């Protein structure tokens, strides 16, 4: 029976998750150099349009049809056939399936957009559009189906409340593969062009993340409120943990670091939000701030040119959050979840560890191979001349600002 309260909430949550993609564009756009602002922002906005097209044609069907136990769905719901405005989502029978389709579509939009920060300033737009298409079909859709669509990993007992494996681990390790394949930037100066723009983007992401995590309960109940509060607490503790450790090491409190820490906390709590007790969220958030900060320092030491720290924040955060889910999850909090190490059970913990490591390796390998194939079709990397001039003018023939009036 239709639950109007849950339906209204899910429409709001869908809108919040949609807002995260422009928020990501602002976040990345502010971090980019001044000649590459539009080049990175257009990649997020392009996903808003093109991912929707793919989702309607076959994406939703490949993710959420085809029965149980498989790796990917079938084409039974291609072009959303067989779904009418009064069809209720079978997962709980409380909201229209149209709402569920829209909600999950917003996840599909932002996930590949996360990767773009890693190869900022040096990838052609044509190759990105091919990458966007292929990555969703070969990486994102299978993991959605296997975990959220009742597929193989779900049957094995793997859970992921809002995307530690499905979104952050896969995108983060795909980003690392992209860095290794594309190579380092010719132009080493990577000073953010607008830290206030980064702050606006960060604020929109944090705001939208309430829909991302609390909305993943797909109805309004006690778990919804738990996921909401866990999200905010973990993000806040991660923000302060990152601020303190960076302040201690560099002798100055860094605003960009503080903002980055908040995103690390949000990414890390994502798989846990509706499955762990409230007291666990400060621990998870603090761990996120410290571990993701160290991951970024490792990246710098290894000279991996992950321009906007996608691997260190999203990849490591997604893996860490999934592992901590295996530690803190308890059915006493959510009967639809599992019992982790704190309850004396170890089997679920090891399943989550194996699953997230396997997903990360899969995303890394397939992304690397995908880029090799794309490069045979069209050059993945821009020329040195275009990179030095900036992608805004070199590829798009536009400038973010009319410098003559500034």
Closest of 38, 30, 80 to residue 55, by C-alpha? 80
Helix 4-31 and helix 255-269: axis angle, to 10°?
140
Structural domain for 330, as ranges: 4-400
Answer yes or no: is 46 within a domain: yes
Cα 28 to Cα 400: distance, rounded to the nearest angstrom: 13
The contacts of residue 380 (CB under 8 Å, 6+ apart) are 123, 124, 127, 131, 181, 182, 371, 374
Q: Is residue 362 part of a domain?
A: yes
Residue 156 belongs to a domain: yes
Q: Does the residue 405 lie in any domain?
A: no
Residue in the block written with tokens 């905010």: 232
Residues 6+ apart with CB under 8 A from 292: 238, 242, 260, 261, 264, 267, 268, 312, 313, 316, 317, 320
Residue that has been written with the tokens 């593969």 in this structure: 177
- Whether the per-residue pLDDT at 186 is higher than 90: the answer is no
**What six digits make up the tokens of 379?**
């050059």
What would the pLDDT profile of 119-154 be if each residue is shown by its tens digit?
989 999 999 999 999 999 999 999 999 999 999 999
Q: Per the domain annotation, does 218 fall within a domain?
A: yes
Total Cβ atoms within 10 A of residue 7: 19
pLDDT score of 261 more than 80:
yes
Residue 92's domain is classified under what CATH number? Answer: 1.10.3430.10
First to last CA, the chain: 57
Query: Residue 401: its pLDDT value, please?
Result: 87
Which pTM was predicted? 0.96
Query: Number of structural domains, the chain?
Result: 1
Residue 406 lies in a domain: no
Three-class SS of residue 268? Answer: helix
As a residue count, the chain comes to 406
Report the distance separating Cα 313 and Cα 211, nearest Å: 20
Calculate the alpha carbon distances from 213 to 162, 218, 270, 272, 405 in Å.
6, 10, 6, 9, 42
> Residue 133 domain-assigned?
yes
pLDDT at 208: 98
In-domain check, residue 234: yes
381 strand-pairing partners:
123
Let me know: does 360 contact 173? Beta carbons within 8 Å: yes
If you average pLDDT over every residue of the chain, what do you get? 96
The pLDDT value recorded for residue 54 is 98
Can you give the three-state secondary structure of 181-206, one letter per residue? HHCCCCCCCCCCCCHHHHHHHHHHHH
Residue 187 pLDDT greater than 80, yes or no: no
Residue 195: the pLDDT is 96
Model pLDDT for residues 236-250, shown as the tens digit of each residue: 999 999 999 999 999
């Amino acid at each position: 029976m239709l639950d109007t309260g849950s339906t209204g909430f899910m429409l709001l949550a869908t809108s919040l998750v949609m807002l995260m993609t422009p928020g990501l564009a602002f976040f990345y756009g502010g971090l980019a150099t001044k000649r590459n602002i539009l080049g990175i922002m257009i990649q997020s906005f392009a996903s808003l349009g093109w991912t929707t097209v793919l989702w309607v044609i076959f994406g939703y069907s490949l993710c959420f049809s085809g029965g149980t136990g498989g790796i990917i769905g079938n084409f039974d719901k291609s072009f959303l056939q067989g779904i009418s405005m009064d069809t209720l989502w079978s997962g709980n029978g409380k909201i229209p399936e149209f709402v569920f389709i829209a909600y999950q579509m917003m996840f599909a939009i932002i996930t590949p957009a996360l990767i773009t920060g890693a190869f900022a300033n040096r990838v052609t737009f044509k190759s990105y559009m091919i990458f966007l298409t292929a990555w969703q079909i070969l990486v994102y859709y299978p993991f959605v189906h296997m975990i959220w669509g009742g597929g193989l990993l779900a049957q094995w007992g793997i859970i992921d409340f809002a995307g530690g494996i499905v979104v952050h681990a896969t995108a983060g390790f795909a980003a690392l593969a992209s860095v290794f394949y594309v190579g380092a930037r010719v132009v080493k100066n990577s000073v953010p062009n607008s830290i206030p723009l980064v702050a606006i983007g960060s604020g929109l992401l944090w705001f939208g993340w309430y829909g991302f995590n609390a909305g993943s309960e797909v109805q309004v109940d006690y778990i919804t409120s738990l996921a909401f509060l866990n999200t905010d607490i973990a993000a806040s503790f991660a923000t302060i943990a990152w601020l303190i450790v960076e302040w201690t090491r560099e002798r100055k409190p860094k605003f960009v670091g503080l903002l980055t820490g908040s995103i690390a906390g949000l990414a890390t709590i994502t798989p846990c939000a509706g499955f762990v007790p409230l007291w666990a969220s400060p621990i998870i958030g603090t761990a996120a701030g410290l571990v993701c900060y160290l991951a970024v320092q490792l990246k710098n030491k290894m000279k991996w040119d992950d321009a906007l720290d996608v691997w260190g924040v999203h990849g490591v955060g997604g893996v860490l959050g999934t592992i901590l889910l295996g530690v803190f999850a308890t059915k006493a909090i959510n009967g639809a979840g599992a019992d982790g190490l704190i309850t004396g059970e170890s089997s679920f913990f090891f399943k989550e560890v194996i699953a997230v490591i396997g997903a990360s390796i899969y995303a890394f390998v397939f992304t690397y191979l995908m880029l090799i194939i794309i490069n045979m079709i069209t050059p993945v990397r821009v020329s040195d001349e275009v990179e030095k001039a900036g992608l805004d003018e070199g590829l798009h023939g536009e400038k973010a600002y009319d410098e003559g009036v500034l």
